[in-house]
Amino acid sequence: MSEQKTLYSPSSSVAHSGDDELEHLRREHLMLDPRPRGEMNAMVMEAMLTTSWKFKLVFAFMALVVIVCLFGVWGYLIAEGIGVAGLTNPVYWGIFLVNTVFWIGISHAGTFVSALLRVFKAEFRRPFTRAAELLTTFGLVQAGLSIFFHMGRVWVSYWLFPYPNERQLWPNFHSALSWDFLAINTYLLASTMYLFLPLIPDLAMARDRSTGWRKVFYRILSLGFRGTEGEWTHLRIAMNIFAFAILPVMFSVHTIVSWDFATAMRPGWNSTIFGPYFVIGALQSGLAAVAMVLVIVRSTMKHMTYFIREEVFDALGKLMLVISMAWAYFFFNDYMVQWYGGDQFTEKLLHFHEAGPLGWMWFAMLIFNVAIPWLTLWNRKIRRNPWALFAIGLGVNVAMWLERYIIIPLSLTINFMPFTWRMYVPGVEVPLGIGTLAFFILLYMAASKLIPLVPVWEVQEGQLAHTVRRVGKEVVVSVAEME
Amino acid sequence: MSEIVSLLAVFPDIDPAAQAVDELRRCGLEDGDINVISGIPVTEAMLGRPRQWSNVPRLALGGAVAGFLIGMFFAFGTPTLYPIYVGGQPLYPGAPSVVVLFEMTMLGMLVATFLGVFLDSRFPSYRPKEYVPQISDGKVAILFRCPIEKQERAIQALFALGAESIQPAEAQVL
């Protein structure tokens, strides 16, 4: 039997500095390169508290865009009515709902990355789960706003709430739109709680290291957390329940969003595969968004090169490749069955997608969603290059937005009544869409200065669980099961 | 009856803290008199401590049942209160009701889980507590109550095991 000798335990800081292989492993993996907890705390706090002039400039610009494009134009929409949007017969669902579906898709990434990787104990997740979870919460805010724009008469949005009106008539809970309300709100609540629970110990850490208004802020939010055995036990159990339970909720949300379309007897929409096709599309755009955000966080915030290493981009790149293949599979499945069906209106719609005036969208969707990821992400060097991954992720997100545009306004153009066919020309939807994007960036920037973006306690827990040992002549990394 | 004192011993790591828990037991302290405070989740098994009781799973189950019942009311109760037949569809359809039941069950379970942490941990609690900020910097603290006649022996034993400081546990504003 071969000898299995522990070379060093990262937590004990006993290392064989002369060993090149160990040095390489340490450079490569955050879990094998521990620093004292106090130092890691200080790094995360410094990243949070340091604000450059560039940050302030971008923040001010985003705030201006939000004021003008979001609140200004929304006010105009409310004052003038929904007629200032480009919605008209036959396209009553336009960019507002394209953006709703797009942002819900983006929001899937945080939960997928955080919960699924937590369930499967994927160690590379530890430094960036929070950065991903923030995507979920802020993405859902934009999705909700886009629904409000679409409503037009936003002041009666409370009609969606499940309560009876003056005539004791309840909303119809068997309608896909009621499911949307329940599913999106369930997901928003669940993802916010899931973001907050693991944040409590880090807020307590920030409380211990802050003064002034920040001390008060963190003191209130950390709820009096000290780290007693009981507090950790309740937190650990709750996080396990959340990690398992939030995944089916995540799947249900985009499935229900897809049913808004699939339950209608329309060409291009009435497809039984729309549920999983939408879910995989959401993961496709969401994972790409996580990669993009991590690249920006890593390159703009202090000390983040220590926490977010190339191993993270490597792993995300692999996931993006697998999800891209799955998306292509579902896309082809949907396309193939509709094409084979032979319905004349569906045929016309498919032809319109590919060869109509916006046919370039259909080809761009396939190029950026399939061709480019497949041609690039198999390559380890490209996956480990953060800016290359950023560019691929940007392409994927543009492609996924185009996909939603093709599914919604473009598909609504072709229906069973040819005399109504008419192209959709957006109006205030464009500035409002830009406004939601700016609002998302603004919220994320604000959060990066208010809450610790790296879950330090999770990183330290992971480092404690890792050891390096030699099996025969090979140096291998071992991870202990600590829960 | 002898006077009881509360002490807070700070250790640099988990290993000496785990040994210190054993030592305190040898000094005659009960598990209920000892509490370990740490900046990372140190499990009961690592410290050789009895399993912590948590109501969170039961509350989660209770929340799921409550959510399911609310879902039943939405799916089957509301059409009964005000029946409207839409497009010849049944008043109590099976598959669409499953969607409502699922969402409400999950919502109930997750909200109850979240509130369970608050209830079990008694959050939020802003009153002064025994704590030292070094804990969030990676130190492991043992908060224990012992009769005054055993204090000296416990302090000596804990210092011998590597305690960095042992001080009377005074509640402070966090």
Domain end (from B98, B120, B142): B120
In a shared domain, residues B48 and B129: yes
DSSP E strand stretches across chain B? 4-11, 34-38, 129-130, 140-147, 165-168, 171-172
Does the pLDDT of residue A306 top 60, yes or no? yes
pLDDT score recorded for residue A7 = 60
The Cα A342–Cα A351 span in angstroms is 12
The Cα A459–Cα A37 span in angstroms is 9
Domain end (from B96, B120, B144): B120
ipTM (interface predicted TM): 0.94
In a shared domain, residues B97 and B131: no
In a shared domain, residues B130 and B112: no
| CB-CB under 8 Å, B43 with A222 | no
Residue extents of the structural domains in chain A: 35-157+177-452
Chain B, residues 5-34, CB within 8 A of chain A, namely none
What are the CA-CA distances from residue B123 to residues A220, A226, A229 (Å)?
Answer: 11, 11, 14
User: What is the largest distance, in Å, between two alpha-carbon atoms of chain A?
Assistant: 80
Residue B59, Cβ neighbours under 10 Å: how many?
23
CATH of domain A35-157+177-452: 1.20.1630.10
Boundaries of domain holding B30: 4-52+125-172
Q: Which residues are within 8 A (CB) of B45 and not within 5 positions of it... i.e. 6 or more apart?
A: none
Q: How far is A260 from chain B (nearest CA, A)?
A: 13
- Per-residue confidence at A4, pLDDT binned at 50, 70, 90? very low
Does the pLDDT of residue A19 top 80, yes or no? no
In a shared domain, residues B147 and B114: no
Does the pLDDT of residue A14 top 50, yes or no? no
- Per-residue confidence at A221, pLDDT binned at 50, 70, 90? very high
In a shared domain, residues B62 and B116: yes
Q: How far is B58 from chain A (nearest CA, A)?
A: 11
In a shared domain, residues B92 and B136: no
* Span A326-366, pLDDT tens digits: 999 999 999 999 999 889 999 999 999 999 999 999 999 99
In a shared domain, residues B44 and B130: yes
Does the pLDDT of residue A148 top 60, yes or no? yes
Q: How far is A238 from chain B (nearest CA, A)?
A: 6
* Arithmetic mean of pLDDT, B146-162: 90
User: Contact A273/A257 with Cβ under 8 angstroms?
Assistant: no
Closest residue of chain A to B61, computed from CA coordinates = A241
Phi, psi of A414, deg, nearest 5: -105, 115
Residue A119, Cβ neighbours under 10 Å: how many?
13
Which stretch of DSSP H or E encloses residue A84? none
Average pLDDT, chain A: 92
Q: How many domains does chain B have?
A: 2
Chain B, residues 105-124, CB within 8 A of chain A, namely 106-107, 109-111, 113-114, 116-118, 120-124
User: Contact A454/A130 with Cβ under 8 angstroms?
Assistant: yes
* Span B57-110, pLDDT tens digits: 999 999 999 999 999 999 999 999 989 888 888 999 999 999 999 999 999 999
Does the pLDDT of residue A196 top 90, yes or no? yes
pLDDT score recorded for residue A230 = 93
Does the pLDDT of residue A1 top 50, yes or no? no
CATH number (domain holding residue B134): 3.30.70.120
- What pTM, to 2 d.p., does this model score? 0.92
Q: Residue A366: is it exposed, middle or buried by C-beta count within 10 angstroms (0-12/13-18/19+)?
A: middle
In a shared domain, residues B107 and B69: yes
pLDDT score recorded for residue A459 = 94
The Cα A33–Cα A48 span in angstroms is 22
With contacts defined as CB-CB under 8 Å, which chain B residues touch A185? 107
* Arithmetic mean of pLDDT, A10-37: 76
In a shared domain, residues B105 and B161: no
Identify the bridge partners of residue A7 per DSSP, sorted by sequence position. Answer: none
Interface residue of A40, A222, A232, A483 to substitute, partner B, most B CBs within 10 Å = A232
- Per-residue confidence at A424, pLDDT binned at 50, 70, 90? very high
Q: Which residues are within 8 A (CB) of A401 and not within 5 positions of it... i.e. 6 or more apart?
A: A98, A102, A285
User: Contact A222/A200 with Cβ under 8 angstroms?
Assistant: yes
* Arithmetic mean of pLDDT, A291-298: 96
In a shared domain, residues B114 and B68: yes
| CB-CB under 8 Å, A173 with B111 | no
CB nearest to B106's CB, from A186, A220, A233? A186
Closest residue of chain B to A244, computed from CA coordinates = B110
Does the pLDDT of residue A404 top 90, yes or no? yes
Chain B, residues 121-150, CB within 8 A of chain A, namely 121-127, 129, 131, 133, 135-138, 143
- Per-residue confidence at A17, pLDDT binned at 50, 70, 90? very low
Does the pLDDT of residue A3 top 50, yes or no? no
The Cα B102–Cα A389 span in angstroms is 37
Does the pLDDT of residue A10 top 60, yes or no? no
* Span A93-147, pLDDT tens digits: 999 999 999 999 999 888 888 898 889 888 889 999 999 999 999 999 999 999 9
* Span A255-269, pLDDT tens digits: 999 999 999 988 899
Look at chain B and count its residues: 174
- Per-residue confidence at A298, pLDDT binned at 50, 70, 90? very high
CB nearest to A234's CB, from B74, B84, B117? B117
In a shared domain, residues B48 and B60: no
